[in-house]
A and B are shown apart, each in its own frame.
Chain A
Amino acid sequence: MKLLVCISQTPDTTAKISFNPEGTDFNAAGVQFIMNPYDEWYALVRACELRETLGGTVVALHVGTVANETTIRKALAIGADEAVRINRDPKSAADTAKQIATYAAAENFDIIFFGKETIDYNGSEVGAMVAEYLQLPYVSFASKLSLNGSTATMERDIEGGVEELEVDLPFVVSAAKGMAEQRIPNMRGIMTARTKPLTEIQPVDFEAPSTLVQFTLPPAKVGVKLIQPDDMDELVRLLHEEAKVI
C-alpha cells in the first residue's frame, strides 16, 4: 500500500491577519502557522491507520519553502514514513495542483489524500485538480474510508445528506470530519521524525491562469447593540426594520 498525503499550512485561526501596504502580499511576520487541520486530523491520521493495519508507506507531500519544514516534521512525528517538499512558494491552488500532479504521476500511489479544504482560502480546489490531471476518480468530503482488498468503501457528505459508495484503487480522496480522530504526536514520534527522510525536489514551471490583485480588510463591526432582556419586541423590530432579515 503506497499512500500519499498532501499537507498544506495555514495561519493559526487566532492569527491577526494583515497585508503589506499595497495589499498584494500576506504579512507573515509574527504569524503562527499550523498544519491545515483537515489535512492533519483526518487525512494524515487515516492514512497512518491504514498503513498500520495493511502495511506499506505513507508519504507526506508539501509544496512550500524550507521555512515550512516544521510543519513537515510534525507530519512525520504523527506517523508519515517519509516526506517530500516541492521547493516552491505557490501563488494559487492551480500552481499547487500542477506541482503535486507532476510528482504523483511518476509514483503510482494507491490513494492520494487531501483535507477537504484549507481553513484560509476554503477553495477545495487542489484535490479535484490533481484527480483530473491524473485521470483518477475523486471522492470529495469523505467522512469514512475502509479498505477491503483493492476496493474502498466510503461515506461522503453531499448536499443535505450522506452517500455510501465503493471505488477501486487507485483514487484521490478529500477527508472531512469523521474520517479519523486527531493524534497528538508522542515523544517517540517527535524523536524519530528527526531522522526520517525529507527529500527536496524542484518545481516545474507553471503560469497560473488566475492571480491575486489585492487583499483588503472588511470594515470593522460598529459594535454590538444591546437589547433589554424584557423587550424582545424591540429586538424583533430591529431585525425587521433595521437589519431587514426577518
Chain B
Amino acid sequence: MVLVFVETPRGLLKKTAFEAVTYAKKTADLLGTSCVALTLGSVSNAGELGRYGASRVLNIPGDALDQLDGQVFSAAISEAVGKLEASVVILSHTSTGKTIAGRLAVRLNAGLISGASALPTVAGSALHIKKGVFSGKAVAEYEIKSAIKVISLMGNAVKPEVSADAVAVEPLSVTLTKSLIRVKATKTQEGVVPLSEAEIVVSAGRGMKDPSNWGIIEDLAATLGATTACSRPVADSDWRPHHEHVGQTGIAIRPNLYIAVGISGAIQHLAGVNSSKVIVVINKDPEAPFFKAADYGVVADLFDVVPRLNDAIKKFKAAN
C-alpha cells in the first residue's frame, strides 16, 4: 500500500496536496496496490483527497499536530505506516516535507529520495526514481532497495488529476509524543501564492532602476495571476523583500512560466530558476547571458515592453 502524507498548513489543502495524492495514486497503480492519504491535526475538506485517487483518507486528530514539529509528525506517521503496513510513503518536497522526510527515513529504516521529478519505475522489489541535480544541469536516477521506501515529490512535477469521488474521512489513533518546540507566533502572507507553489512567476532585477518602478511588474503579475520575485541585488538593496529573492541562495523554483524582466542572468540566478518549464526574458541588452537559457526573448526597453505585454495578455484573457 502507498501512504501519502498530506500537509495541511493552517488546516488547508494546497495544490501540493493534490499533486502528492495524484503521484501516490499513480505509484500505487504501478505497484498494483491502493493509495491511502494521511492528514494530521485539524483540517477542512480532507475527503476531497479521494477525488485525486486516495481510496481512504485518514486523519490523526490532536491539537498538538496543528504546529509543525518533525519529531512529533515523523513518530505519528511511522506508527501509521506500521499499522497500515505501507510499503511506500510519499510526501511533498516543501519546507514541511523536508523537516519530516529525513527523520521518517531513519525511523523506518527506509531509503529516501527527496525532490523526485517523475513517477518511479518498478524494478523487481526496488523502485527507480529520478530527480534533478546540480541546479537542473543533470538528472540523477536512484534505486531504493529497502522494504519501505520514502519519496518526496518536487512541486510542479505532476499535474493534479481528478480520478474518483470524495471519500469520508476516517480517524486514526496513534500515540502522540510531546513537542519540544514552542511556537510563539506565526506570520503568513494570505492571498499570495507562495513562490514554491506558483505556476507563473514574474521576476525583476536591477534593470528596474528604482523600487518605485515596480508597479508595471505588479500589474503584469496581477493580470497573469502570477507571484512576483526578484534577483539577489534587488533583495540585497532592500528594493524588495528577501522572501522574493529567487536564485541559488534565495529560493529555487520551478514554475511553468518564468518571466525575467531586467535580470542579466548571472549563473547564481539561473541555478535557482532554470528548472522552470518555460522562460521568457525581457532585457535591452542583447548580450545578457539570460537569453541563452531562455525559450522566448524580447530585446527592448522593459519600461516600454512590459506594459505592452500586460495589455496583450489582458486582450487575450478577455477573448478566451
Spell out A's residues near B (CB within 8 Å). Answer: 11, 13-14, 17, 19, 37-38, 41, 93-94, 97, 117, 119-129, 131-133, 135, 137-141, 153, 157-168, 171, 177-178, 208-218, 221, 224-230, 232-233, 235-236, 238-240, 243, 245-246
- Tell me if B71 and A137 are in contact (CB < 8 A): yes
In the complex, which residues 220-246 of chain B have their Cβ closer than 8 Å to any Cβ of chain A?
Answer: 224, 242-243, 245
Task: From known contacts A128-B100, A159-B9, A239-B280, infer whether A211 and B257 are also in contact, taking CB-CB under 8 Å.
Answer: no
Which of A166, A221, A235 counts the most chain B CB atoms within 10 A?
A235
CB-based nearest A residue for B108: A209
- Tell me if A159 and B189 are in contact (CB < 8 A): no
Min CB–CB distance A145 → chain B (angstroms)? 13
Please indicate the chain B residues that have their CB under 8 angstroms from the CB of A228 in the complex.
298
In the complex, which residues 170-211 of chain B have their Cβ closer than 8 Å to any Cβ of chain A?
Answer: 179-189, 192, 194, 196, 199-200
Taken together as a complex, chains A and B put the C-alpha atoms of A123 and B70 apart, in Å, by 16
Please indicate the chain A residues that have their CB under 8 angstroms from the CB of B316 in the complex.
233, 236, 240, 246
- Tell me if B224 and A93 are in contact (CB < 8 A): no
Please indicate the chain A residues that have their CB under 8 angstroms from the CB of B74 in the complex.
132
Task: From known contacts A160-B188, A213-B143, infer whether A168 and B138 are also in contact, taking CB-CB under 8 Å.
Answer: no
Spell out B's residues near A (CB within 8 Å). Answer: 7, 9, 14, 68-71, 74, 94-96, 98-103, 105-107, 109-115, 128, 133-146, 179-189, 192, 194, 196, 199-200, 224, 242-243, 245, 248-250, 252, 256-257, 267-268, 271, 277-278, 280-281, 291-301, 304-305, 308-309, 311-313, 315-316, 320
Taken together as a complex, chains A and B put the C-alpha atoms of A124 and B163 apart, in Å, by 32
- Tell me if B106 and A133 are in contact (CB < 8 A): yes
**Can you name 12 extra interface pairs (CB under 8 A) apart from A129-B102, A224-B297?**
A122-B133, A124-B101, A128-B99, A166-B184, A177-B250, A209-B112, A211-B143, A225-B297, A226-B299, A233-B315, A235-B312, A239-B257
Task: From known contacts A177-B250, A232-B305, infer whether A210 and B112 are also in contact, taking CB-CB under 8 Å.
Answer: yes
Please indicate the chain B residues that have their CB under 8 angstroms from the CB of A178 in the complex.
242
- Tell me if A235 and B184 are in contact (CB < 8 A): no
Please indicate the chain B residues that have their CB under 8 angstroms from the CB of A225 in the complex.
295-297
A-B pairs with beta carbons under 8 Å apart, 14 shown: A123-B112, A124-B98, A132-B107, A159-B196, A164-B185, A171-B180, A209-B112, A210-B113, A221-B295, A225-B296, A226-B299, A232-B312, A235-B280, A245-B277
- Tell me if A229 and B181 are in contact (CB < 8 A): no
